Structure 1
């Protein structure tokens, strides 16, 4: 009898868990392996699952674009984890546009910032905000916090030694991009690239993470995150979650102070 009562109590406790486990918002991570980014997800998935537990949000993970064939409105943010826009086809593109126009948030990570041929999907190009140009070989460099008031920088030092694939970009495609992090090209060799290719760097202003409001939604983009080992780094995960939190909620950014009138 005692065993029966104990079993009933355990069952009741189990059934009661979902009421308390419901997260503060829901996130979809789309991680599609590709030629140059296929082994990162083995490390990234458990880290995102721990992130969801730590920060009390619900997480759906997809290895393909199937979620874009359904209603996306339940998600506060969609993370395109090394998943570029040209992975979406036809009505899937319409679904993402509808989602953003409804106030949804998007986080574009690394490879997601490289879209297809110019003009293939202009809306997505503007969502990312800048067009990828080229990148040199992976190197260690110094990252500088440009916007210390944005959540994706809260856990980072003002100057950060980081090893990654330093994407170069063309001029902004939209107005209103706010740079979060930049890389100091004096701390690495922007021309160190494979035979037959040429990279020249971007100069003194070389953004590697930014955010903006776009078409009714919120977009955070970070070029960091090329190698799998980076997903084991607590600072990188804090960087990702800060941007994700803002994309999902719009919170964490202090409003600009009103201009003071002259005496």
Structure 2
């Protein structure tokens, strides 16, 4: 009798499991190794898998752009993890544009903020929001939280010591960009760069993460994430998930603003 009851319980658990396994939303992470960013992906993949388990969302991981040849509508957000827009070609670009216009979310991480050659796909450059100029050598610096009411900043201290490539950008390509994090250029040397190159920094206003609404969708961009070891850092992963959660759902901002009143 006990064996019969145990078998019934196991059978019930088997049929019930799919319902509990369904995530609250589904995400596509595209991580294409490139010249300067290749080792990061093998470190980041298991961390994203744990993130998906911890936060109960479903995830597809891709090493190439083939998902853009299929149906993107099943994804609440697409993470371009060190994957720039120039990896997409032809109809794949049209697919991303249609996805965003239908309300999809995009998270652009580090190398995804650089598009080559500039001006070839203006829509994508506006999606990112700023045009990359140059970066000095990797250095430790102080990151400031400028928008504590945005989910990508919830887990961060007001001042954060971080080591990365400090991308420099041109002026915003469109209005409405909200800076989440900025770097204090007084805490590192913006001119420390390789022979033959020149970097001068951006001055007092040097954003490194921002968000905005764009063409019907939501976009979170962060310039942080060059070194593979960074993808094992708890605070950085909280930063990424906060931006991903907002891009996928649009949630977090209103609650934070209400609580602050």
How far does the alpha carbon of each residue in 1:102-125 deviate from its partner, in whole angstroms, 9 at most, with x for none? 000000000000011121100000
- Which residue is 1:102 aligned to? 102
- Which residue is 2:162 aligned to? 162
Displacement of 1:184 after TM fit? 0.2
- Which residue is 1:27 aligned to? 27
Displacement of 1:18 after TM fit? 1.1
The runs of at least 4 consecutive aligned structure 1 residues that moved more than 4 Å come to 1-9
CA distance in 2, matches of 1:253, 1:6: 47
What does 1:158-237 correspond to in 2, within 5 Å?
158-237=158-237
- Which residue is 2:246 aligned to? 246
Q: Mark the runs of 5 or more structure 2 residues left unpaired by the alignment.
A: none
Displacement of 1:11 after TM fit? 4.8
CA distance in 1, matches of 2:83, 2:228: 15
Number of aligned residues: 257
Q: Mark the runs of 5 or more structure 1 residues left unpaired by the alignment.
A: 258-263
CA distance in 1, matches of 2:31, 2:5: 45
How far does the alpha carbon of each residue in 1:20-78 deviate from its partner, in whole angstroms, 9 at most, with x for none? 11011110000000011100011101111111111111111001000000110010000
CA distance in 1, matches of 2:148, 2:5: 55
What does 1:16-165 correspond to in 2, within 5 Å?
16-165=16-165
CA distance in 2, matches of 1:7, 1:166: 58
Secondary structure of the structure 2 residue equivalent to 1:181:
strand
> Normalised by the size of structure 1, how large is the TM-score?
0.94
CA distance in 2, matches of 1:182, 1:126: 20
Displacement of 1:15 after TM fit? 3.6
> Normalised by the size of structure 2, how large is the TM-score?
0.95
How far does the alpha carbon of each residue in 1:193-229 deviate from its partner, in whole angstroms, 9 at most, with x for none? 1111111100000000000000000000000010011
CA distance in 2, matches of 1:35, 1:2: 61
CA distance in 1, matches of 2:107, 2:188: 27
More moved, 154-163 vs 7-16: 7-16
Secondary structure of the structure 2 residue equivalent to 1:78:
strand
CA distance in 2, matches of 1:8, 1:253: 45
Displacement of 1:254 after TM fit? 2.4
**C-alpha RMSD of matched pairs (Å):** 1.6
Secondary structure of the structure 2 residue equivalent to 1:172:
coil
Secondary structure of the structure 2 residue equivalent to 1:240:
helix
CA distance in 2, matches of 1:237, 1:144: 17
